[in-house]
Structure 1
Amino acid sequence: MLFVGLAANLPLAWLFIKDHKNLSPAKVVGVNLLVMQLLHILVAPFGIAIRFFRENDTLANGNYPSRVVEEGPYILVVTGCPMLLAVMCLERYGAVARPLVYLRARKWGYKIAVSAAVWTVTLIFILTTVRRGFEKIALPMSVLVLVLLMVMLYCLVGLAWSLGQQGPAHPSALPQKRRALKNVLLVIVQAVFAYLPVCFLPPLLASRREDRVWCNMVLAIFSSPYIGVCIGPMFYYAKFKQVLCGRGGGAGGCR
């Protein structure tokens, strides 16, 4: 999954680098999501190696930095990434369903503040996990993920309703609404598969069973959020298509 995530995010990094001179406030959250996903992809192998050597008694109990490297990548992908995805869904919803509110909230300051808040919450989860163990953050993390999924679902329903309310007075807004609805639908379908299982983690951990079925279920739930590293580029599918069509000599071959 790490290699798949890298293959999915490198084109997104190329897209942002290529268009860095025209970086708008709307792309700030996307850049933060890209950085968070790349951090996870690049640091996770070191965390896996640390855990492997410790479990095989070839490495002593980890100090604070090694614990951050070991636990940090997973917390990034299970808390930070879905928070940024939810913010991006809200942006798409606001752009087409609440344009006046969106225009007031699209300033650089708001985007930077939201991104800083997401990084702060993620860092708190990481430090709490390192100091007190994963069990201490399992319940608040699952509640956070459930709330974020509900926010994404609200955006999807709101966009669908807005699309249904489209009247003849604003025909030019119809393609924009359809693109936004398609983007949010793609994201939420993947987000449900990636993050919804996390909501069932606290009761499983509380049961403290040790049979094979329980272990396989816990392992599957822990593994599901790794799908999240591939979700971010879905928001920029239309932009990828536009760039590739431009390089191909026109939009005729991209319909």
Structure 2
Amino acid sequence: MNFTTPEASTNSTTQSTASLESLDIFLYSIGFLFGLPIHSYVIWLTITGTGSGVASEFFNLNLSVCEIGNSLTGLISVLSVNFSSFLTLSYFLQGLAITGRPLFQCLMCVERYLAVVHPVTFLKYKPLRYRVICSSAAWIITLGSCLGCMIILMLSIMIYAWFFSLQFLLFLSIQLFCLVTVLRALKQSGPGERGRARKEANHVKRRAFYFILITTVNMVIIYVPLILAGFFDILMKHNMLLLWDPAVVCYVLAGFVPPVLFLHRTGKLFCLCFS
């Protein structure tokens, strides 16, 4: 994800610009070299039926496809420094980062919310066709956001700050509501749980609780720094690199947590590490 614009560069010193470009290249390299193989592996495992199958992991599958696009965005952003023809494509692909990733993560959080809090509704809408419909709508919204980013970034960085900050705030609010509600539900004991059955149920709940807790903390780390940096730019009308640098680092590095959790859940994490 590239939050750096020509306007931001001209408002900084030569030393700061060089430092920022080095950080950008480092983050893009990390995103490309690690993100591309990890998410490709997740897609392969999902398609081949590892884990819960394609139907249950359909949103996760779409998220990984979106993340591969994000990984390629970094490479294209680096190429756009020397080849201006890649700049428009780089602007277009920003929609994958500011809309695609949070939107599919939001769908996954809503699905978990329904599965735990409203299981009857979840079983009613569990078939693959509902996930396909939701994912298709999400891709249409994401492509619309890509077009919007391409136009907005050519006009004003302040409008772009409003554009992604409000989206992140909206999606994060929905995700936190779903995840916190799920955490509260998992802490409660189910009716009629006794003896060994209760022990096994508590073990499953405990694992699910920690999984959701890690996901919740990860969402905060990904989006809150960028939201704060975006609104600070809007209020101060000035691009603060001291805020953007750690925010983008959090966004890139914390983005590896969901695929790692998926690989850990399917027992394939060490297969990736030693392959």
Alpha-carbon offset, residue 7 of structure 1: 4.8
1:92 aligns with 2:112: yes
The answer for the alignment partner of 1:190 in structure 2 is: 218
Q: CA 1:237/1:169 → structure 2, altered by over 3 Å: closer, same or farther? A: farther
Question: Separation in 2 of the partners of 1:110 and 1:206?
Answer: 41
Q: Percent identity?
A: 23
Q: CA 1:155/1:47 → structure 2, altered by over 3 Å: closer, same or farther? A: same
Q: Is the 8 A contact 1:96 1:176 kept in 2?
A: no
Q: CA 1:167/1:220 → structure 2, altered by over 3 Å: closer, same or farther? A: closer
Alpha-carbon offset, residue 167 of structure 1: 3.0
Unaligned residue ranges in structure 2 (runs of 5+): 1-29
Question: Separation in 2 of the partners of 1:231 and 1:21?
Answer: 17
- Kindly provide the amino acid, as one letter, of the partner of residue 162 in structure 1: A
- Kindly provide the amino acid, as one letter, of the partner of residue 34 in structure 2: V
Alpha-carbon offset, residue 176 of structure 1: 4.1
1:167-205 deviations in Å (ceiling 9; x for gaps): 351436544433332222222212211111221214414
The answer for the alignment partner of 2:262 in structure 1 is: 236
The answer for the alignment partner of 2:133 in structure 1 is: 113
1:35 aligns with 2:57: no
Q: Is the 8 A contact 1:187 1:234 kept in 2?
A: no
Question: Separation in 2 of the partners of 1:119 and 1:226?
Answer: 21
Question: Separation in 2 of the partners of 1:46 and 1:244?
Answer: 29
Q: CA 1:206/1:32 → structure 2, altered by over 3 Å: closer, same or farther? A: same
The answer for the alignment partner of 2:243 in structure 1 is: 217
Q: Among residues 220, 234, 237, which one is paired with 1:208 in the alignment? A: 237
Classify the secondary structure of the residue corresponding to 2:266.
Answer: helix
Q: Is the 8 A contact 1:81 1:228 kept in 2?
A: no
Alpha-carbon offset, residue 83 of structure 1: 1.3
**How do 1:141-152 and structure 2 match up within 5 A?**
141-152=164-175
- Kindly provide the amino acid, as one letter, of the partner of residue 244 in structure 2: V
- Kindly provide the amino acid, as one letter, of the partner of residue 177 in structure 1: K
Classify the secondary structure of the residue corresponding to 2:57.
Answer: helix
The answer for the alignment partner of 2:162 in structure 1 is: 139
1:126 aligns with 2:126: no
Alpha-carbon offset, residue 149 of structure 1: 1.7
Q: CA 1:182/1:146 → structure 2, altered by over 3 Å: closer, same or farther? A: same
The answer for the alignment partner of 2:39 in structure 1 is: 9
Q: Is the 8 A contact 1:36 1:76 kept in 2?
A: yes
Alpha-carbon offset, residue 74 of structure 1: 3.4
Unaligned residue ranges in structure 1 (runs of 5+): 54-58, 248-255
Alpha-carbon offset, residue 228 of structure 1: 4.9
| Aligned residues between the structures | 232
- Kindly provide the amino acid, as one letter, of the partner of residue 40 in structure 1: N
Classify the secondary structure of the residue corresponding to 1:106.
Answer: coil
Q: Is the 8 A contact 2:95 2:147 kept in 1?
A: no
Q: CA 1:216/1:19 → structure 2, altered by over 3 Å: closer, same or farther? A: same
Alpha-carbon offset, residue 120 of structure 1: 1.7
Higher relative contact order structure (alpha carbons within 8 Å, sequence separation ≥ 6)? 1
Q: Is the 8 A contact 1:77 1:228 kept in 2?
A: no
The answer for the alignment partner of 2:24 in structure 1 is: none
1:47 aligns with 2:69: no
Task: Compare 168-177 and 77-86 and name the one that shifted more.
Answer: 168-177
Q: Is the 8 A contact 1:9 1:233 kept in 2?
A: yes
Question: Separation in 2 of the partners of 1:118 and 1:235?
Answer: 23
The answer for the alignment partner of 1:252 in structure 2 is: none
Question: Separation in 2 of the partners of 1:91 and 1:229?
Answer: 20
Q: Among residues 202, 208, 224, which one is paired with 1:180 in the alignment? A: 208
Question: Separation in 2 of the partners of 1:22 and 1:217?
Answer: 40
- Kindly provide the amino acid, as one letter, of the partner of residue 218 in structure 1: W
Question: Separation in 2 of the partners of 1:158 and 1:80?
Answer: 24
